[in-house]
Amino acid sequence: MAASRRTVVILYALHSWTGIVTGLLLFVICFSGAVVVFKNEIDLWANPSLRALPQVAAPAGPDAVLAHLAQRYPGIKPESMTVPNEVTPAWFVFARMPDNPQRMKIAARADNGEIIGEVDSELGQFFRMLHVFLFFGPRWIVGFLGVAMFFLIVSGFVIHRKIIKELFTVRWRKSLRVTGSDLHKSVGVWALGFHLLIAFTGAWLGLAPVFERAYAHVAGASTAGSAMAAVAAERPSSSAAPFSVDRLMAQAKEDMPGLRVKGVTLRNPDRDDAEVGFYGGLDGLLFNNTNLAYRGGQLVRSNDPRVKGFWSQFNGLMEPLHFGDYGGLVLKWLYFLIGMSPALLSLSGTLLWIERRKLRQRSRSGGQHV
C-alpha cells in the first residue's frame, strides 16, 4: 500500500507540473481546436459576399475557374484550388503574382467559375493555423502537447481513483475551490473517451510525420510513388491533347473509383508537362489521405488507402477523427461543446494549483507564528 501511495504522490506531482508548464498552450490549442470545427462556416460568415452565392449541385469545372482567373489577373500563378462543398458555395484559388511573393486567396463562383475577388477574411484559417502550428513552430510542437494532454488524462484518472463513486457528487455549497475541484474531476471523467481520442490523434498528426521522415532517412527509403510512376510510364500519354484539369479530374475518378475530390494542386499549369494533383476522400469511407498526381497527362503518384494496408488506413483516419469533419452539423456541435472541456480543464487545473499553493503558503505562515 505504501508503494501505491508513493506512486500516486509522484503521479500527482508530475500531473501538476505538466499541467502548469503546458497549461496555457493546451488552453490555446484546445480552444482553437474546438472553434476550428466550424472553420468553413466561420470563413463564410466572415465574408458576406460569399454568403450570397447560390449552392449548386454540379459546380463548374476547374478549367472555367482558371480561365476566368487568367483573364482577371494576367500572369498569375495558381498553386492550388479547393472545390465547393455543402458549406462553401465557391471555388477558392491560392495563387501568387510574379511581382508579389505573398500568396493570394481568391474566390470564384461555383456555378460558372467567374472570379469574385480576393477573400476579405480568413478567420477560420486563423484558428486552424493557431491550432495546428501555434503560428510560430513546426507541427511536432503541437504533437508533443498532445502527448502531454494524454499523460494528464491518464495520470488524472489514476490519481483520482475514487472519482467513479463521486461522479454524481458536486459539492456546490462548499468553497469555490472544492466546487471547482469536483467539477474539474467530473468533467475529466465524463469526457474521458473523447479527450483520449483528441489527445492521441493530435499527438499522431504532429509526431507521425517526424518519425516517418526519420525512418525514411535511416532506411534509405525511396520516394513514395516511384513504383506507380514506373507502371504509369507504360500508359499512353494524354498530353497530346490540350492541357485540361477537367479532363485529368475525370481521369482521376476513373483511375480511383469512389474518389471525392476536395482539392487540386497545380505545378506549372501553363505547360503541357504540368503536374496536377487531386486529393480528397472516398465514398462511404473516412480516409482523408487519398491522392493522385499526373505529370504531362500521365499518372505518376497514387495513394489509395483501400489497397495500401493497415497503416495507411490508420493514418488516413486520424485527421477526420481529430477535427470531426466526417459528419453533419450535429456532430460538429458535439465536437465543439465537448472539445471546449479540455480547454476549461487546463484553465481550472491551473487555478486549482495556484489556490492550493496559496493555502500551503498561508499554512506555513500560520505555523511559523505559533
C-alpha cell at 161: 481513483
Which residue do the cell numbers 493570394 mark?
104
Q: How far apart are the first and last CA of the chain?
A: 34
Give SS3 for 121.
coil
Sign of the dihedral defined by the CA atoms of residues 7, 8, 11, 16, in that order: negative
C-alpha cell at 63: 478549367
pLDDT at 162: 63
pLDDT at 318: 95
Distance CA 37, CA 44 (A): 13
pLDDT at 110: 95
Question: What averages of pLDDT result for each successive group of 10 residues across the chain (370 residues)?
Answer: 70 87 91 94 89 89 96 94 93 93 93 92 89 86 94 84 58 56 66 91 93 80 44 40 82 95 91 89 92 93 92 93 90 92 79 74 63
77-82 β-sheet, strand order = 115-118, 100-109, 90-97, 77-82, 259-267, 275-282, 290-295, 298-303
Whole-model pTM? 0.79
